[in-house]
Structure 1
Amino acid sequence: MEKLIREVRILKIYAVVLTVLCAMFFFLAFKNQSSNERFKEIDVERINIVEKDGTLKMVISNKERQHPGLVNHKEMNPREREAGLIFFNSMGDECGGLVYDGNEKESGMAYSVDQRNTDQIMQLQYSESAGKDKKRVYGLKLWDRPDDFPMEYLIKAADSIKKLNNPEASRKAFAQLKEKRRLGSERFFAGKTANGDVGIFIRDTNGKVRLKLYIDKNNQTHIENIDENGNLVK
């Protein structure tokens, strides 16, 4: 009888402990579902923002752990990139970002918007070199990119040219790609140039400057219409 009473007492204690543990489990589960964690300060080297299915949408990272980029849900070859934010679309491609850095020799920042399947078509940028011949450039740039030469093709072409291991042959190969408009062309810049001109500079489809509206460093105003050969049209 005493053994039976002892076993019943043990069962009661077990039941109470189990009930308390279950209550704590449900309380914590409900708390995690109904509230967000709050942090006053957090140190982290990289944050991946993903959808519920795990699709990568944004990366916030330092320089060492920065994402190399995505093309068709595949990571690009490792490359050095500055700290910042990289955006990704639902197609699995990188579609823009913000990078920045600065040191004793140079500094800069760029916010880029990429055309679908290819590289940037709009960029707000700033760059500056230190030293006696300091050059500072900042403003908005626009590019044209071909629809029939996506980033995947561009990467393969660049890799093939690098394998040539011949500077002159590489220069000619890139020149041919540019002539065929495979690399895209700069079309517009509004901002300050390295020589101190502030204004708007518009290029044709070949990337040649054709129209300038600017004020130079001596506060002189200029409106210049330029032909395709680089000559000023009066």
Structure 2
Amino acid sequence: MKVKSNPLLYILLGWNVLLTAFLAYTYVYPDKTTATERLDIVDKNNSPLLSISNADHFPDPIIDGKTHKRAVSPSGMVFFNEDGNEVGGMAFSKRDSASLNAFVFDYSNADAIGMLVQEDSGTGAHRAAIQINDKGKKLGEGAHRISLQNENGTAGLFIMDRKGNIVIELSVDSLGKPNLLLPQATR
């Protein structure tokens, strides 16, 4: 009795051998990393929720469905709300000898609260801060109101009016000299 050969069986057998070899290889040599220039997490409607990116592919901010130009091109991560608007993120950037690393949560139209670290390897200047901003009426208009920071060895709490003028300063400089500033309220 002669058996007919079936080309489909040979194809399936070949794929089976290749799949088994691939699975054996990944078991023996597991790859623990994945490399990409940008990773976007989206919802079921393909709206962005999270983007992790290098500086070349970092997304521009989206506010009320409109894309705006970003002032810098950092690497990092951006968070989006259910409407697709940017609501915060982590950014890491460097220009010449100065670097800025920040973790920020946003109002609907501007930065709300942020933690940042700035260093300049050329000058030695450095700052670490937590900043709280007021929400403005227009895009990017929020006023800087509270800063808890250490800048070049001076640690302090700074409270500003809506124009950004310091109205209360409680600080200690790098030599240990305290400073309390309570200017007369100007109205």
TM-score by length of 1: 0.63
Correspondence 1:60-209 to 2 at 5 A: 60-77=52-69, 80-102=72-94, 105-115=97-107, 117-131=108-122, 133-146=123-136, 148-149=137-138, 151=139, 183-194=141-152, 196-209=153-166
Distance 2:121 2:173 in 1: 22
Determine the C-alpha separation between the residues in 1 that align with 2:164 and 2:185. 10
Q: Determine the C-alpha separation between the residues in 1 that align with 2:163 and 2:71.
A: 29
Would the aligned equivalents of 2:38 and 2:57 in 1 still touch at CA under 8 Å? yes
What is the total number of aligned residue pairs between the two structures? 174
CA shift in 2, pair 1:134/1:199, >3 Å: same
Deviation at 1:208, TM superposition (A): 1.6
Bigger fraction of residues in strand: 2
Higher helix share: 1
Residue 44 of structure 2 corresponds to 52
Change (3 A) 1:104 1:204: closer
- What percentage of residue pairs aligned between the two structures are identical? 21
How big is each residue's C-alpha offset from its partner over 1:19-62, in whole Å with a ceiling of 9 and x where there is no partner? x69xx8xxxxxxxxxxxxx8511221110111122111111110
Q: For 1:218 and 1:40, locate their aligned partners in 2 and report how far apart those are by CA, in whole Å.
A: 48
TM-score after normalising by structure 2: 0.78
SS of equivalent to 1:205 = coil
Deviation readout 1:116-145 (Å, 9 max, x if unpaired): x211110101112233x4321111011101
Change (3 A) 1:216 1:69: same
Task: Report the CA distance between 1:222 and its aligned residue.
Answer: 2.2
CA distance in 2, matches of 1:78, 1:142: 20
CA gap of 1:223–1:77, structure 2 versus 1, over 3 A, is: closer
Secondary structure, in 3 states, of the residue corresponding to 1:97?
Answer: strand
